[in-house]
Amino acid sequence: MRIFSVLLWILFPGCWAVTGPGAVRSPPGGSVAVRCRYRAGYENYQKFWCREGGLFCSNWFHVIQTDGSEAEVTRGRVSIRDNHTQRVFSVTVGNLKPADAGTYLCGVQRSGFELRDAVELTVSPAATPDPSGGSR
């Protein structure tokens, strides 16, 4: 197994260049803030957020992306901002709808390929406390 991991790292050195939180949750109408980290050397590349459509972003369309600077970009209910010093970019999605639920990719756009990590977005009502001590 260790040999396989080393081979993967050699063949795909950027696989772990971007890391997201894995999963985020919010009730309908709420918002989420997703922080994705990246390794040194990728500060001036474009960062993006897109809906997964199989192996890549659906229809190769990024919901939102930076221009490689630290300037905040807003498109509708979604904004993205990069912090080069901390090597983290933040994506905020507001006024969430059940249709927004799904798998998204946060990533760095490099010449010819993307470095990315999947984030599962769940939009569901908060669990209501059960008087017996559990939740419903």
Q: Is the pLDDT confidence value at 34 over 70? A: yes
CB 37 within 8 A of CB 19: yes
pLDDT reported for residue 5: 39
Q: What contacts 53, CB < 8 A, 6 or more positions away?
A: 59
pLDDT reported for residue 15: 52
Give the Cα separation of 72 and 65 in Å (integer): 10
Tens digits of per-residue pLDDT, 63-89?
Answer: 899 999 999 999 999 999 999 999 999
pLDDT reported for residue 7: 36
Q: Is the pLDDT confidence value at 112 over 90? A: no
Q: Looking at this protein, which amino acid is placed at residue 55?
A: L
pLDDT: which is higher, 28 or 114: 28
CATH fold for domain 14-123: Immunoglobulin-like (2.60.40)
Q: What percent of the chain has pLDDT over 70?
A: 76
Q: What is the pTM of this model?
A: 0.79
Cα 52 → chain centroid: 10
Phi and psi at 41, nearest 5°, equal 105, -15
Helix or strand run (H / E) with residue 107: strand 102-110
